[in-house]
Amino acid sequence: MYCHLVLFLQSEDGDIIACVDIYKQPAFDHPALKNHTIQMQPSFIPSTETPNGERENSRPVVSQLWKKRGSCPKGTIPIRRIRRRELLRTNGRKSPEHLKGTNKTATQDRFMHLNNTKGPMLYPTPENRSTAILLTYGYNYVGASGEINVWNPRVERLPEFTTAQIWLKSGAVNNFESVEAGWTVHPAEYSDARTRFFVYWTADGYKKTGCFDLTCYGFVQTSTEIALGGAVEPGSSSFQQQYVLPINIFMDPTTTNWWLVFHDIAVGYWPGSLFSLLKHSATSVEWGGQVYSVNVRKTPHTKTAMGSGNDAEELYGFACFIGQPRILDYSKSYKYPTFVAVWKDEYNCYSAVNYKAGNANDEATFFFGGPGQSYRCP
């Protein structure tokens, strides 16, 4: 791939960003994409405006550190150079989600209710992962968005990592398809403890397909402005300004490609040909955080934090949040989901609350996170 580079940029965090010919990116190593024609722009971008016509996003947005050193020319895309030790540690992939105890299906696991009214949903518990999410399911979703509050939580040891993200999923709980984006602190994957913008996909529950960013074939990047896996700044702090990462993922109806938009920038897409089910729609959407560690649901528990590292109940300015969660259906209009549920695997370690202030017209904001090991989570 680097034989086709046009320019190298050295970021102050040590990353090397290669500006690579857009037609020579890793996506086209996939057999199904050998004759793929790049869709340079989505056929439409769903509106994220309020009924009175104002932009919903009013919080300051993070930027990428490498951009201080320049930009990539037209006809190229920025690709973060992957170190050999990173590939040896993770191969750019998440480990498969083995359901706790046995290969359970959703009908064998724990219950949650949407808005405490709709019939119960059974939610799986993967080993080595602890999740705190806002969830909606049961319809055909062709998009989702949200403003993800950005922090820099602690990761105790390799290969543990923590994320704040959006998932769109379809399929069986042990063999699902998903497209995902958000931020992560993942020292094994990126060789440092910075907060980084990431994307991911899988067509088989993380078993053999998919990867982070552009580590393997799959995601087709079109933007010259965003480096997948690149560090973002500034991060939020308690009592200080809160920064967000606005994410918008939606399926283009003319191509079935799943487009990713970072703030106002169309970054690229996951081709619909990667999937069997997601080429039609997603059947669930999740917003929230996840910690990967072999020491979740164990004593002593991992000290890897989720979100800000503070409990969800501490609310704005202290706890991590996802604001304005939206789903897109075939009406092509973003809306707050009719039914939602809050789920947390370990409420004493990583909590979650969909908080609505006293004003009846206010929309709920989803808060999540925690420190991991503490007096409540030994």
105 band by pLDDT with thresholds 50, 70 and 90: very low
Say if residues 323 and 170 touch (Cβ distance below 8 Å).
no
pLDDT at 57 over 90: no
pLDDT tens for each residue of 215-273: 988 999 999 999 999 999 999 999 999 999 999 999 999 999 999 999 999 999 999 99
pTM: 0.92
Tell me what percent of the residues of the chain surpass a pLDDT of 70.
88
CA atoms within 13 A on the CB side of 99: 19
Quick one: pLDDT at residue 113? 57
Cα gap 93→239, rounded to integer Å: 36
Residues 6+ apart with CB under 8 A from 189: 86, 89, 90, 92, 161, 212, 229
Residues 6+ apart with CB under 8 A from 180: 165, 166, 167, 168, 199, 200, 201
103 band by pLDDT with thresholds 50, 70 and 90: very low
Least confident of 17-31, 183-197, 341-355: 17-31
Least confident of 75-89, 133-147, 336-350: 75-89
Quick one: pLDDT at residue 85? 72
Tokens 């895309």 sit at which residue? 77
Least confident of 65-79, 290-304, 348-362: 348-362
| Paired residues of 259 in beta bridges | 250, 269
Quick one: pLDDT at residue 235? 96
Give every strand in the sheet of 5-10, ordered side by side: 5-10, 16-21, 76-80
pLDDT at 313 over 90: yes
